[in-house]
């Protein structure tokens, strides 16, 4: 009798355990997967902050799955991938958005944003609402937060004794790699250079082999992607205080509960803030590091660059797409 009871108890426990594991498997399957694709490296501060802040914050209901170095989706195709349901997240640029909505070029224009703080004020201002709404309605993509990439500068293979970049005229004939959309290429031309479109993942080799004369990116990127190993100088043109937006699939967003949506939104803002602070600190520190690596780093005639770049946009097809009053509103949110 005793033995039968024990056998029954064992069977019962085994059955309960099986039920438990079936339940937890079902629960685990209920978690959504949030794949993010970016050309950035895994040590880029935007990647780090998303992985250390965003991922853990949503872990109760989502598996955050980042793919770096454009290994899942090619640079520039991420928005289409989200729109067609093949991707859940990306770190997109205003230049990429401008390929769908030309008015986004205003946020990709040289010398418009003044600082990381200015970017945040602009992103949170009601002036952004129609921009965000259009991306959501027409592309099925939500822009959750603005990430700081940094001040872009001109970084060349030549020593300063061969090419000294003080004004836009000094960039004449310089084959400058810029990312591959029209808004980027226009900025390269506006700077006075000969822009060459190329994917980010190809830049190191192109600098090494001399198929381009230089590239433009913020100092943290020059260090993170080791461009300093294959370049000799940086002219601190600050021609674009560059940003990326955390882009999120609207379809996935709509499948979340209001509580989960609030968690995702907060997690994106917290990750953006953490990344911003880390990137700002790196920008401060890295001049010394780069000089130790033998690079010449100097400030050009910023007024000459600003005036030249701004003059190129006046009357351009890009400026024509900007909704009336938005540039003034952006300027009014500036630092001084």
The residues of the shown chain that bind ligand KDO, judged by CB under 6 A, are: 38-40, 44, 91, 93, 149, 179, 200, 217, 221, 244
* The pair of three-digit structure tokens given for residue 309, joined into one six-digit string: 């770049």
Q: 163 or 177, CB closer to ligand KDO?
A: 177
Q: 73 or 263, CB closer to ligand KDO?
A: 73
> Token pair 């190993």 is at which residue?
229
Q: 221 or 233, CB closer to ligand KDO?
A: 221
Work out how close the CB of 329 gets to ligand KDO at its nearest, in angstroms, rounded to a whole number.
23
Query: What are φ and ψ of residue 64, in 5° steps?
Result: -85, 125
* The pair of three-digit structure tokens given for residue 244, joined into one six-digit string: 């990326």
The residues near 232 (Cβ < 8 Å, ≥ 6 apart) are 156, 157, 158, 159, 160, 294, 295, 296
Q: 149 or 154, CB closer to ligand KDO?
A: 149
Helix and strand tally (H, E) in the chain?
15, 9
The residues near 218 (Cβ < 8 Å, ≥ 6 apart) are 149, 150, 151, 152, 153, 242, 279, 283
User: What would you report as the CA-atom Rg of the chain, rounded to the nearest whole angstrom?
Assistant: 24
Cα(133)–Cα(335) distance, rounded to whole angstroms?
26
Work out how close the CB of 259 gets to ligand KDO at its nearest, in angstroms, rounded to a whole number.
31
Bridge-based pairing state of the strands 141-156 and 194-197: unpaired
Work out how close the CB of 66 gets to ligand KDO at its nearest, in angstroms, rounded to a whole number.
12
Work out how close the CB of 198 gets to ligand KDO at its nearest, in angstroms, rounded to a whole number.
8
Cα(32)–Cα(50) distance, rounded to whole angstroms?
17
Q: 49 or 244, CB closer to ligand KDO?
A: 244
Q: 50 or 263, CB closer to ligand KDO?
A: 50
Q: 53 or 212, CB closer to ligand KDO?
A: 212
Work out how close the CB of 44 gets to ligand KDO at its nearest, in angstroms, rounded to a whole number.
5
Work out how close the CB of 77 gets to ligand KDO at its nearest, in angstroms, rounded to a whole number.
12
Neighbours of 39 (CB within 10 A): 22
Q: Sign of torsion, CA 220 223 224 230?
A: positive
Work out how close the CB of 236 gets to ligand KDO at its nearest, in angstroms, rounded to a whole number.
17
């Amino acid at each position: 009798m005793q033995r039968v009871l024990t056998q029954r108890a064992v069977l019962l426990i085994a059955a309960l355990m099986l039920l438990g594991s079936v339940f937890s498997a079902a629960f685990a399957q209920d978690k959504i997967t949030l794949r993010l694709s970016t050309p950035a490296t895994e040590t880029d501060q935007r990647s780090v902050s998303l992985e250390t802040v965003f991922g853990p914050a949503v872990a109760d209901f989502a598996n955050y799955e980042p793919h770096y170095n454009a290994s899942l989706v090619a640079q520039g195709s991420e928005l289409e991938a989200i729109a067609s349901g093949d991707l859940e997240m990306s770190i997109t640029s205003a230049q990429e958005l401008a390929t769908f909505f030309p008015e986004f070029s205003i946020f990709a224009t040289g010398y418009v944003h003044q600082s990381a703080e200015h970017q945040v004020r602009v992103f949170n201002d009601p002036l952004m609402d129609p921009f965000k709404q259009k991306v959501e309605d027409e592309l099925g993509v939500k822009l959750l937060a603005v990430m700081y990439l940094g001040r872009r500068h001109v970084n060349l293979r030549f020593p300063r004794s061969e090419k000294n970049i003080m004004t836009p005229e000094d960039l004449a004939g310089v084959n400058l790699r810029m990312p591959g959309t029209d808004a980027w290429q226009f900025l390269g031309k506006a700077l006075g250079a000969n822009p060459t479109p190329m994917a980010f993942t190809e830049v190191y080799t192109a600098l090494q082999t001399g198929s381009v004369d230089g590239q433009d990116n913020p100092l943290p990127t020059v260090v993170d992607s080791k461009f300093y190993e294959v370049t000799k100088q940086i002219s601190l043109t600050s021609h674009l205080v560059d940003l990326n937006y955390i882009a999120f699939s609207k379809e996935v967003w709509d499948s979340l509960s209001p509580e989960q949506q609030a968690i995702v939104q907060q997690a994106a803002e917290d990750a953006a803030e953490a990344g911003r602070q880390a990137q700002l600190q790196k920008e401060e520190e890295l001049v010394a590091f780069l000089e130790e690596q033998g690079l010449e780093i100097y400030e050009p005639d910023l007024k000459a660059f600003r005036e030249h770049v701004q003059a190129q946009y006046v009357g351009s097809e890009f400026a024509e797409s900007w909704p009336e009053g938005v540039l003034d509103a952006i300027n009014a949110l500036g630092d001084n």
